Structure 1
Amino acid sequence: MARAQRPGSPPPGGLSVQDQAPGDRRRDSWKDSWGPARARLTDLAEDYARLLASQDPAAAEATGLPSRTLLPDVGPEALAERNRVERRLHQLVRAVETPRSLTGNHGAKDDDARDSTPGDGDPWGRAPLAVRVLRAHLLERLGTSIDLIESADQGAELNILTSPFQGVRRRLITLPTDLPGSTSSVQDWADLVDRYRAAPRALTGIRDSLAVSAAQGVLPPRGQVEAVARQTDDLARILASQARGDLSGGGHAAPGGALGRDLQVAANDAAQAVSDLGRYLRGELAPLTPVREGVGPSRHACWVRRMLGTSIDTAEVYQWARQELVDVVAAQDALAAEVLGTGSRAGDLDAHLRADPSTGMSPEDFPRWAQGVADEAWDAVVGRLLDVPDGLGRPTVLLDTPGGGVHYEEPEPSRSLSGRVLRSFAVGDETVWPWAERTTVLHESVPGHHTHSGAQSLDPSLTLWQRYLGKVPGCNEGWALYAERLAIETGLLSKPADRFGWLAARRWRIVRVLVDLGVHSWLPVPAEIAALPGAGGGTQWDRPTVEAALRAHTVLGEGFLQFEVDKQLGWPAQGLAYMLGERVWLAGRERAQHRAEEVRKKLDLRAFHNRGIGLGSVGLDLLIRELG
């Protein structure tokens, strides 16, 4: 990966200042003049990381910074403190001064100092790349968080997957022997007791923030309240069982003596606190909530900025996604006709590819096969289409606990862990189809997340906050989807069956754009969706219509389908991150191509990718400015 020159390091090529040409010395002098601004912005970014870590132990673990709490703190007082500090940080970032000597366009010919906003007179446009990106990224992320807190949306966040309750739940159900690579110790069990003891306060904070937001008229949809209430029932049962000394599952040997008694008492208190939250959700919050699905246009706009780092024209994107869906279905039909003959459709090819079980594999065989796919991609991409930092290494593919899903985990040098792709399969899955999985492996590994967010996590030119806490889903998921296209270009998805799998995955992501915009921005149901079997029949998106849309455009087990419906109904803008992020990466490449052609050069794709990855995970507005 191309790295920004570190402050204080020798000039390129090892030349002394005296050895350099006068023009080079002037440019280096100009760059050095930005040193105070760079240092100040870095300090402010680290201050932001310390704030986030202090309120969230997961952020503390990711960064190695201290936390004052054992469970996420999202109560009204914590949100008020965070808002106060974020406002102050925002002011301080804006107050960082440009060099006093910056009176002209010194060094503007240096690519690292290229003005990203030509002609606007902003001296920050002439700052070195790393400096101006860090400043813009801080301002955007701070501003977005401030808006979410002050609009009461942050306090009202409630869904089945990513809301504060899930953060608390994960830390309560993780027993010492559940920790990767760990062996339980007395201290591990004592830490669990402390987490149980912290649960009543953390859960009260969640309830109080929901109540404060509700008093301002900002409420989660009723379906999400009911779904999370059911999750509280499950968690309360688990904790009550642990309070009785039942730690079901292999390898869980509860401590004895005083520590064992402390564990049972603390687990019982935690179970009671979880039950209290469930009663509040059902008895007090649910009656206040709207029956209509989604958060509505104005609140959706806030979440779009959080997830994408940009604002969108929802009507334009809606129509674009409708056409994209038509196009991808047509491409699948064309591929079916190519393989099976004229008149064949996508459904025919899907059935054909699943007809012979011998062409599939068992879940147990998946890691070895997928590791080969990732290794082949590494050899084809790294050092050719992009570079990676020292120490990244090849990703590792592993099976995860049953459930159905896949995700990427970044390297953890402190634990000697490489970047990891974890794939889980639903209970009962017996056959895994390589043609359906290949594009997903490439998306998660190489040239996808591993060479983007994995590489960024090891990039010393990025601040701790940028590497771990300042990530924007639209940038990360957009890159991974763009990476699937790179796989097509490099021949990694050359077989018709593999291309069909790529189109099927793309079709799934496109329909989620329609679902997200329809549900959360309250756009009318398109006629082609309303006509699907099982759709609700009205002009408003409801759960049956979401189910019908997802079922028509994917092949999922019913259990996973219902989970995905709940996720899309409760997580505004998440479904946009993939397709809209990819759209920006493609637009940035097109602009860079045009700029190269203007000077009669060929686009250096490797340099383009290195530059984009080196920016860190940024909002889409900032990404397109710097790519284009």
Structure 2
Amino acid sequence: MRLILPFLALFLAAPAFAASPADTAFEKLAQADYDWSQADRGLIDGEDDDRVAPQLADVKPVAQAKRLAVLEGYARTLASIDTRTLSPARQTDAAIYRYQLDTRIDRLRFRTWEMPFNSDSSFWGNLGYTSARDFKTEADYRNWIAQLRQLPAWFADQTANMRAGLARGFTPPRMTLAGREASLDAIADASDPTATSLYKPFKTMPAGMAPATAAELRAQAAQAIRAAIPAYAALRTFLKTDYIPKSRTTISAAALPDGDAFYRAQIAEFATVAMTPAEIHAIGLAEIAAIRGRMNGVMAETGFKGDFPAFLTYLRSDPRFYAKTPEELLKQAAWIAKQMDGKAATWFGHLPRRRFAIVPVPADIAPFYTAGRGGDGVYLLNTYDLPSRPLYQLTALTLHESAPGHAFQIPLARENQDRLPFRRNLYISAYGEGWALYCETLGEEMGLYETPYDRFGMLSYQAWRAARLVIDTGLHSMGWSREQAQAYLRDNTALSPHEIETEVDRYISWPGQALSYYLGEMAIRRGRAKAETALRAKFNIRAFHDMVLALGSVPLPALDQAVDGFIASGGIGPYPKEE
């Protein structure tokens, strides 16, 4: 397994002394990579800049080979810099950059672009993130139209890549893909382009836009979508008649080409720590046992007279725990989010400027989508199949996907002017998902879980993420079956049958990603306990949270180093005037 580079020094402020020649060389390299990668991905980025990109990324093999060559060149340049002579802050930046560079090179060397979708995520489904956003300018609308016009060629390129992956056995397991072509139906069968999710931004346009301009943009969008509809239909046919029937019948990542090395690389990317699958598996088993003890205690508080399996059956079947309409689910999530707003100042000294919207997951991808997903400015809540969306888990879900989870972490990283650009826009799963999972437990301290059922739902979510350590390593290194993984979730969490099926398929088809959540949360909880013990009366929870969030997204060794710096400073956070 590739070891993560040591993090020699870490704190929040930029150095007060003149940059060394090594600092200057590293900053030039990091900026060159950042500028190139933004342009390569078709993005326009900058401070507080969330404009819609003017193009879709080139996914053809020639472009992928060029990317690999560029990144390997950057790696050689980094190796030529004597990192021992960097300032402390830049030593940290260089170690984080090395992690990011290694991860990107690994993806290209393993040709992960030949598997551009799995049971959880897809290149066509990801377009929904853009269409769900609020467009602000005329350029946003024109850029989105430009992307829509590129869809037929882009889909053809993605299909060619999938054919190449299929030829060498590099696909998701067939059993996880059954029916996934249905997520294309809503657009593939559309007779009215303005009724599709792709047209959503044009439903409500800025009030200051000239009516003639708005009409022109709407007409162009409809025309572009109408031209893209056959591409959706062709992709659906390819998936249904060719790709899915010929996808691999094995489950484990080890069965993929160079599978053992691939899984080790996935662990390095998502967990950011040097641990073996066996070590991770053992942690998961121990944590599940500890969480079960707490779950039993909360179950007793409810007055339920049966055993644990009977209680799970009760939770999964009693109508009192489920919303009757999508609107009820959305409104309840909004109420939870507003309750969190009222608590925020007590727990955080510095809040993001960016706000977020709560919107339903688009209907065309909802059947195979997770319960919710959050990001910069949006909390997507799945209102499909309401009997699988229990209200007793909604508080935990909302704290994770909106505030203070992803809706704090991602905007605060982007707003932090003390960070180099590549760090402001970096997302590392162990940190980002670990923070969001930590926020679920923080809700208990905040008093946001109003009933024992809500607290049981939170603990069920904790067990769900701890179980991922057991299941992911079980599936990909210990020969577990799909049914074995489903049974483990069914026996240890209150997840609905629908969620259990979609989640296990997600772990099967996305090796390693599931490991990031609980390992990341453990690192934050471990760091907080260490700081509380060392600082005693000087410990300030607002300063601690501000310190963690001001880091941006970092590998877990860097988080550990930051905690040590926080303790050494006497518990002074990055915004002392706000503590």
Amino acid at match of 1:573: G
Partner of 2:38: 53
Q: What are the equivalent positions in structure 2 for 1:384-399 lying under 5 Å apart?
A: 384-389=346-351, 391=353, 397=358
Secondary structure at 1:348 match in 2: helix
The residue that corresponds to 2:103 in the other structure is 144
Shift of 1:340: 1.4
Taking structure 1 as the reference length, the TM-score comes to 0.71
- The offset of 1:78, in angstroms, is 1.5
- The one-letter code of the counterpart of 1:290 is R
Offset, 1:145: 0.9
Cα-to-partner distance string for 1:16-71 (whole Å, 9 max, x where unaligned): xxxxxxxxxxxxxxx41336655554443343333333333467599859999622
Instruction: Label 1:593 to 1:262 Cα distance change in 2 as closer, same or farther (>3 A).
Output: closer
* Contact persistence 1:160–1:227 (CA under 8 A): no
Q: 1:276 to 1:361 in 2, by over 3 A?
A: closer
Taking the aligned partners of 1:236 and 1:246, their CA distance within structure 2 comes to 12
Equivalent residue number for residue 582 of structure 1: 521
Partner of 1:505: 461
Give yes or no for contact 1:370–1:441 (8 Å, CA) kept in 2: yes
Distance 1:233 1:353, change over 3 A: closer
Alignment of 1:315-464 (within 5 A): 315-340=278-303, 344-345=307-308, 347-348=310-311, 351=314, 357=320, 363-366=326-329, 369-382=332-345, 384-389=346-351, 391=353, 397=358, 403=366, 405-410=371-376, 419-428=377-386, 433=391, 435-464=392-421
Out of 225-234 and 38-47, give the one that drifted further: 225-234
Contact 2:145 2:220 in 1 (8 A): no
Residue 89 of structure 1 is matched in structure 2 by: 74
The match for 1:128 among 82, 85, 88 is 88
Other structure's SS at 2:525 match: helix
Give how far 1:203 is off. Answer: 2.6
Match of 1:295 among 253, 256, 265: 253
**Is the Cα–Cα contact under 8 Å of residues 207 and 277 in structure 1 kept in the other structure?**
yes
Tell me if 1:563 matches 2:517. no
> How big is the shift at 1:314?
0.6
CA distance 1:308–1:319, change in 2 (3 Å): closer
Q: Which moved more, 1:154-163 or 1:477-486?
A: 154-163
Amino acid at match of 2:382: S
Cα displacement (A) at 1:420: 4.6
Question: What SS is found at the alignment partner of 2:374?
Answer: strand
How far did 1:180 drift? Answer: 3.2
| Aligned-partner Cα distance in 2 for 1:284–1:356 | 41
Calculate the aligned-residue CA RMSD, in Å: 4.4
Q: In structure 2, do the counterparts of structure 1 residues 56 and 227 end up closer, same or farther at CA, with 3 Å as the change threshold?
A: farther
Of 436, 439, 451 in structure 2, the residue corresponding to residue 480 of structure 1 is 436
Compared CA separation, residues 168 and 207, structure 1 to 2 (3 A): farther
Instruction: Name which of 166, 170, 173 aligns with 1:221.
Output: 173
Superposition pairs of residues 25-64 of structure 1, within 5 angstroms: 31-34=16-19, 37-38=22-23, 40-57=25-42, 64=49
- 1:144 Cα deviation from its structure 2 partner: 1.1
User: Please, which runs of 5 or more residues in structure 2 have no aligned partner?
Assistant: 1-9, 205-213, 255-259, 565-579
Task: Say which SS state the counterpart of residue 302 (structure 2) adopts.
Answer: helix
With over 3 angstroms needed to count, the CA separation of the structure-2 counterparts of 1:54 and 1:494, relative to structure 1, is: same
How big is the shift at 1:425? Answer: 1.8
Q: Deviations over 1:183-205 (max 9, x none)?
A: 9x8x8887666445423432333
CA distance in 2, matches of 1:388, 1:364: 32
Give distance in 1, aligned partners of 2:552 and 2:29.
Answer: 17
Fraction of identical pairs, as percent = 22
Cα distance in 2 between the residues matched to 1:430 and 1:225: 20
Quote the Cα distance in structure 1 between the aligned partners of 2:390 and 2:315: 15
Q: 2:134 aligns with which of 156, 167, 180?
A: 180
Asked if residue 307 in structure 1 is aligned to residue 263 in structure 2, the reply is: no
Shift of 1:571: 1.8
Residue 140 of structure 1 deviates from its aligned partner by 0.5
Contact 1:295–1:572 under 8 Å retained in 2: yes
- Mapping of 1:189-204 within 5 angstroms? 194-204=146-156
Instruction: Give the direction of change, closer, same or farther, for the CA distance of 1:48–1:499 in structure 2 (3 Å limit).
Output: same
Which residue identity is paired with 1:91? R
CA distance change for structure 1 residues 137 and 67 in 2, over 3 Å: closer, same or farther? farther
SS of the residue corresponding to residue 407 of structure 1 reads strand
Q: Render the CA deviation track for 1:515-543: whole Å, top value 9, x for unaligned.
A: 32222x23133xxxxxxxxxxxxxxx13x
Match of 1:79 in 2: 64
2:371 alignment partner AA: G
Please state how far the C-alpha of 1:437 moved relative to its aligned partner: 1.9
Question: Is contact 2:142–2:217 with CA below 8 Å preserved after alignment?
Answer: no
Counterpart pick for 2:157 among 187, 191, 205: 205
Q: Once the 2 structures are TM-superposed, how far is the Cα of residue 615 of structure 1 from its aligned partner?
A: 1.6
Q: Distance in 2 between matches of 1:547 and 1:616?
A: 35
1:623 to 543, 554, 559: 559
Match of 1:18 in 2: none
Shift of 1:327: 3.0
1:123-182 residue CA offsets vs partner (Å, 9 max, x unmatched) = 55xx333x23321111111111101211223433431443445446877xx5xxx76367
Partner-residue secondary structure (3-state), 2:270: helix
CA contact (8 A) 1:307 1:574 kept: yes
Cα distance between partner residues in 2 of 1:589 and 1:325? 21
Shift of 1:454: 2.9
Name the SS of the counterpart of 1:474 in structure 2. helix
Distance in 2 (CA, whole Å) between partners of 1:495 and 1:505 is: 16
Between the two structures, name the one with larger relative contact order (CA 8 Å, sep ≥ 6). 2
TM-score normalised by structure 2 residue count? 0.76
Query: Secondary structure at the residue paired with 2:134?
Result: coil
User: Quick one: distance in 1 between partners of 2:238 and 2:362?
Assistant: 32
Q: Distance in 1 between matches of 2:317 and 2:387?
A: 14
Alpha-carbon deviation of 1:282?
Answer: 6.2
**Partner of residue 155 from structure 1, selected from 110, 114, 127:** 114
